[in-house]
Amino acid sequence: MSTEHDLSPAPDPETTNPDQPEHQRRVPPALNRLIAAVLAVVLLAAAVVAGFLVYNRGQVEAELEERADAARAAEEFVVRFNTYDAETVEGYIDALSPMLTTSARAEFEKAIQDTTTLIRETELRSEGELLASGVASVDQDDATVLVAVDADADSIAGPIQRHFRWEIDLARVDGDWLVDDFDPVAGQASP
């Protein structure tokens, strides 16, 4: 007598019935495991992509904030630079000096002496108005900003409308953007 027993599971009539529609047949366990593994890989990949996008978004937002800070510093400087009058010319120098790096401040204070004499003698008054700005480049320590500004001026010679375009080079000093160099790239005056 043979005691050999068949330990294999009995065939499931639901999975082996060829007359049953295919969508009603049960999925074999090995296929279920494969589907679960594929879904786990897809979910992991989605989580990695989502993490990368969140990190990248933070980087982009930080760069945009840097650009905005640099632009604000350049805009404020150019408007202040083009806003002055004969009575308060000393305050003009005091208002601009903290916005400049040490080297730019030294050059500015040398050059401004002749200008302040001219402002006083002609009773010149000027009011700067920001038109537009754009950041040409920015990194952690340096930035270049292009700024367009108009200035309504009046003196003993009469009123004049001035139009300036500036290139402002900024340097980060103790966390603040300071003007390191500034050059007019275009400018004109019209009566």
* Better-scored residue on pLDDT, 6 or 174: 174
Q: How many residues does the chain have?
A: 191
Residue 9 clears pLDDT 90, i.e. is over it: no
- What pLDDT, in 10s, does the model give residues 19-36? 656 655 676 788 878 888
Helix, strand, coil distribution of the chain in percent, nearest 5 = 50, 30, 20
| C-alpha dihedral sign at 40, 41, 45, 48 | positive
From CA 38, how far away is CA 22, in angstroms rounded? 22
Q: Is 45-190 in CATH node 3.10.450.230?
A: yes
133 phi and psi angles, rounded to 5 deg: -150, 160
Return the pLDDT at 184: 86
Asked whether the beta carbons of 179 and 100 are under 8 A apart, the reply is yes
